[in-house]
């Protein structure tokens, strides 16, 4: 099977994740979109590692997973805290830092 198909899949997943982040207001869903983009990237990295016979891409994918796990912890904590404070999980309501 042609390895390029994995790259197409990764692109589609990335596009889906990006669309989710841009279009949805619910913070949890936006978060899921972000995770989808990260995993699409992971897929692309692993594919490139395979294509070039170079292990660097796989190592990088591991790093992304670890960082993503840590990020999920912090991100979910923030979302929950904001929800408790403002009774809303919409990202559009969090705009107090604008000029």
Q: Which residues contact 93 (CB under 8 A, 6 or more apart)?
A: 86
Cβ–Cβ under 8 Å, residues 10 and 44 = yes
Which positions from 8 through 67 interact with other proteins, judged by CB under 8 A?
A: 18, 21-23, 25, 30
Cβ–Cβ under 8 Å, residues 37 and 14 = yes
Cβ–Cβ under 8 Å, residues 19 and 29 = no
DSSP state of 95: -
Binding region for other proteins (CB under 8 A) out of 47-55, 65-73, 77-85, 86-94? 86-94
85 binds other proteins (CB under 8 A): no
95 binds other proteins (CB under 8 A): yes
Give whichever of 87 and 95 is closer to other proteins, judged by the CB atom: 95
Give whichever of 58 and 90 is closer to other proteins, judged by the CB atom: 90
Output the smallest distance, CB 21 to other proteins, in A: 5
């Amino acid at each position: 099977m042609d390895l390029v198909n994995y790259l197409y899949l990764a692109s589609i997943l990335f596009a889906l994740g990006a669309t989710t982040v841009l279009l949805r207001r619910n913070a949890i869903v936006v978060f899921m979109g972000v995770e989808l983009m990260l995993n699409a990237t992971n897929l692309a990295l692993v594919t490139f590692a395979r294509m070039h016979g170079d292990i660097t891409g796989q190592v990088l994918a591991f790093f992304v997973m670890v960082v993503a796990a840590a990020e999920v912890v912090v991100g979910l904590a923030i979302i929950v805290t904001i929800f408790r404070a403002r009774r809303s999980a919409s990202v559009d309501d969090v705009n107090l830092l604008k000029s």
